Amino acid sequence: MTEQPLPLPAEHRPHGVREWRSADAREWLAAAPGRWARPQWAALALIATYAWAFVDSPGPVCTDSAPCQFDWWPVVFFGFAVLQLYWLVRQPVVALWVVPPTAAANLLHGDALGTASDVSRLAVTAAAGFAVVGLLYRLELARRQRHLAMRAAGDARYTLPPRLVPFTRGRISLVFGVGCLALAAFGLWRGSAVVAEDESRAAAATRVEAEVLGYRENGLAVTLLPEGRRHHVDAFGDHRKGDRVTVLIDGDWSRLAAEPPDAGAWEALVLVGGLPGLAFVVNALVGRRRAARLRSLPVPALRVLIKEKDDDPRVWVYAHDDRHGTTPVLTFHSLPTDEDEDEEDEEEEDADERERALDGEGAESVVESVLGAMRDQTPPVLREAVLYGPPSVGAEVAFTAVGGRDLDEIVTECSATPVRAVERRERRGRSRSLARLALDLEPTAAPRVWSAGGWTRLVGLALGAFQAAGIWALLSDGFSWQWFLLLGLPALIGTTATALNWRIVADRTGLWTTGGWRIHHVPWERISSIHLNGSTLEITQPGDEDDAALEPVGWPALERRLGGGESDTERLLAELRAMYHDPSLRPADESTPAQRGTPLGPLFTLLLLVWAVTVLVLP
């Protein structure tokens, strides 16, 4: 393994492109928004004030003399109130156009916040003002970051590589969003038709006075006066026994005269389709606009270093002189551009050859080669890249770098999510590279042992309590066909036992992993990779050997947030990789059975069986 970043061939670097130095990157990071301007604070303020206004808003009083009317405006206001929270975080420019009108409507329109008091309405408006100030601050800092990036890039401007030009953003989001909006339009059409039909029948209905008997399963039970016949009607408000109400009756149709038509299902459909539909369509249009602006004119470019991580699909960007990748500057998700037609033709020919091989005697060898390629995953390494477009928080960028599974080809990718500056806590949590950690590790004779921590054991206890409660719920009422749900317990038992007592031991011979059911030994010479897949630690071997996997061993993202940037799980992974790549760091002695621990799966199964029998025999 080498800490030297993989260089980008000179023919793929535009002439005269400058390096993004650490001093410029630090200045760029200093222009990132402060903590007070995080959109989450504004969103929380809006949620809190909306909740206050809702609690402070008594329900409407519907009477026969002043009946409640159906209106679509509350649905519209609620929808935009939710969307502005989403756009605050994802699309600050869009949020700046939405938050002020929504705040004005909440303050002035009677249907926006129901019958909330003026104080709660002003609180919502103040929260919206705080959000607007934060948005303006974030946009101004993004402008400053663009200026700093352009200053670091110099006066030279470059056209994008040919592969980046035809790349289009937002196609899938646009199609999905339009489909959701069509669903919302259908709900609006049908809901309006239901309301119109209801109002038409109400105009021709007979008004009958009735006395409330109480609520039943199928609605409000009333006695029609004066004949005393019982009737059931749908009711939204609270009615007490003995209240006098007016019922509209037209054949088999009826409802209370004071209450509006029931179009709740169609209102829900409008929200279910309209909220994601607008969000996806706006995201698609904004993304396409940013991508078009990036491709319309020559743009500044910077030489940087990039890296992907095993447990994180994002691209992390470093300054060009940060040769060990200690301080990430910005991050984003990316998508590869479309390949050239010639390469697509070659891929189709290769696919045809593989298909013909599968039909013949070479099927076994082809399948084995495919499985071998899947196992032979090159761990992420630091690579040189050319970053196109001035980076700033929320911007669109593209890059060219060495990539592919074997790191032997040139890849061109575009950002699929807006650029985000890496916070100081995240940088501190990722500041120790594998090489530096290897230098800090000292060779020892005694085996190294890692075991379950407090978080995973807490999860294991919660899972155990959940299984015990599930057994009680399923068995306490005697035989039931729902007992088949108990078939899912074995998988949960293994996860629970692993969370409570997983253990990894490194000794002279290799790695010993103790999970829920077995102890797995992987010799050092048989290890092909060690990586995290979510909360699962996987130690892979070539060929037909079984891989060793422990799940769960931890949650790096949660640990970084709660531990001030440090993740015990990532440290474990780094130490294992250091010993794997540097034999001098491996322990000199062999481990004992006591050090390797004991799987808790069989014992936990026995405890659950005893609990199940206890539940069955209890009176």
DSSP 341-399: HHHHHHHHHHHHHHHHHHHSTTHHHHHHHHHHHHH-PPPP--EEEEEES---TT---EE
Where does residue 411 rank: exposed (0-12), middle (13-18), buried (19+ CB within 10 A)?
A: middle
Tokens of 362: 């070479």
Q: Which amino acid is at 301?
A: A
Does the pLDDT of residue 149 top 90, yes or no? yes
CA distance linking residue 299 with residue 389, whole number of Å: 5
| Mean pLDDT of the residues in the chain | 78
Confidence of residue 482 (pLDDT cuts 50, 70, 90): low
Mean pLDDT (whole number) for 466-483: 68
- pTM to 2 decimals? 0.59
Torsion of CA 235, 237, 238, 239, to 10 degrees: -50
Sheet holding 548-550, edge to edge: 529-533, 536-540, 548-550
Classify the phi-psi angles of 618: left when phi > 0, otherwise alpha if psi is within -120 to 50, otherwise beta. Answer: beta
Does the pLDDT of residue 373 top 60, yes or no? no
Between residues 165 and 601, the one the model is more confident about: 601
CA distance linking residue 134 with residue 128, whole number of Å: 10
Highest mean pLDDT among 260-269, 448-457, 499-508, 540-549: 499-508
CA distance linking residue 523 with residue 521, whole number of Å: 6
Does the pLDDT of residue 558 top 80, yes or no? no
Does the pLDDT of residue 609 top 60, yes or no? yes
Strand pairing partners for 413? 336, 399
Compute CA distances 577 → 46, 233, 382, 524, whole Å: 46, 69, 16, 11
Closest CA to 336 of 269, 389, 411, 280: 411
Strand pairing partners for 387? 302, 399
CA distance linking residue 293 with residue 67, whole number of Å: 54
HSE at residue 201, side-chain half, CA atoms within 13 A, is 17
Confidence of residue 338 (pLDDT cuts 50, 70, 90): low
Helix residue ranges per DSSP H, 154-247: 171-204
CA distance linking residue 495 with residue 550, whole number of Å: 9
**Confidence (pLDDT) at 377:** 42
Tell me which DSSP letter residue 11 carries.
G
**Confidence (pLDDT) at 441:** 65
Per residue in 20-73, pLDDT tens? 999 999 899 888 887 777 788 888 888 888 888 877 776 666 777 777 777 788
**Confidence (pLDDT) at 365:** 40
Between residues 429 and 448, the one the model is more confident about: 448
Compute CA distances 252 → 148, 245, 255, whole Å: 72, 19, 10
**Confidence (pLDDT) at 368:** 40
* Helix (H) or strand (E) run with residue 534 in it: none
Confidence of residue 302 (pLDDT cuts 50, 70, 90): very high
* Contact between 302 and 18 (Cβ < 8 Å): yes
Mean pLDDT (whole number) for 409-422: 84
Confidence of residue 240 (pLDDT cuts 50, 70, 90): confident
Tokens of 9: 């061939």
* Contact between 421 and 38 (Cβ < 8 Å): no
Query: To which residue do tokens 């470019």 refer?
Result: 301
Highest mean pLDDT among 35-49, 271-285, 470-484, 525-539: 271-285
**Confidence (pLDDT) at 490:** 66
For residues 76-103, one letter each, b for 16 or more C-beta atoms within 10 angstroms of the residue's C-beta and e for the rest, the string is bbebbbbbbbbbbebbbbbbbebbbebb
What residues have CB less than 8 Å from 324, skipping those under 6 apart? 3, 382, 433, 435, 436
**Confidence (pLDDT) at 356:** 40
Does the pLDDT of residue 249 top 60, yes or no? yes
Query: To which residue do tokens 């289009």 refer?
Result: 168
Query: Residues of the chain with pLDDT > 90: what percent?
Result: 12
Mean pLDDT (whole number) for 398-418: 81
CA distance linking residue 28 with residue 304, whole number of Å: 14
Confidence of residue 560 (pLDDT cuts 50, 70, 90): low
Q: Determine the length of the chain.
A: 619
**Confidence (pLDDT) at 388:** 92
Confidence of residue 102 (pLDDT cuts 50, 70, 90): confident
For the chain, what is the radius of gyration of the CA atoms?
Answer: 32
**Confidence (pLDDT) at 427:** 47
Mean pLDDT (whole number) for 527-549: 78
**Confidence (pLDDT) at 406:** 65
Among 113-117, 139-143, 482-486, whose mean pLDDT is lowest? 482-486
For the four alpha carbons of 62, 67, 73 and 75, in that order, the dihedral sign comes to positive
CA-based end-to-end distance of the chain: 65
Highest mean pLDDT among 76-90, 97-111, 365-379, 396-410: 76-90
Does the pLDDT of residue 610 top 80, yes or no? yes
Does the pLDDT of residue 181 top 90, yes or no? yes
Mean pLDDT (whole number) for 602-619: 81
CA distance linking residue 273 with residue 112, whole number of Å: 21
Does the pLDDT of residue 19 top 70, yes or no? yes
Highest mean pLDDT among 140-154, 189-203, 337-351, 410-424: 140-154
Among 79-88, 337-346, 384-393, 551-560, whose mean pLDDT is lowest? 337-346
Mean pLDDT (whole number) for 341-347: 39
* Contact between 311 and 329 (Cβ < 8 Å): no
* Cis amide prior to 556 (ω within 30 degrees): no
**Confidence (pLDDT) at 325:** 80
For the four alpha carbons of 36, 42, 44 and 45, in that order, the dihedral sign comes to positive
Does the pLDDT of residue 374 top 70, yes or no? no
Mean pLDDT (whole number) for 310-320: 80
HSE at residue 30, side-chain half, CA atoms within 13 A, is 7
Compute CA distances 546 → 108, 263, 324, 538, 576, whole Å: 67, 57, 33, 11, 19
Does the pLDDT of residue 299 top 80, yes or no? yes
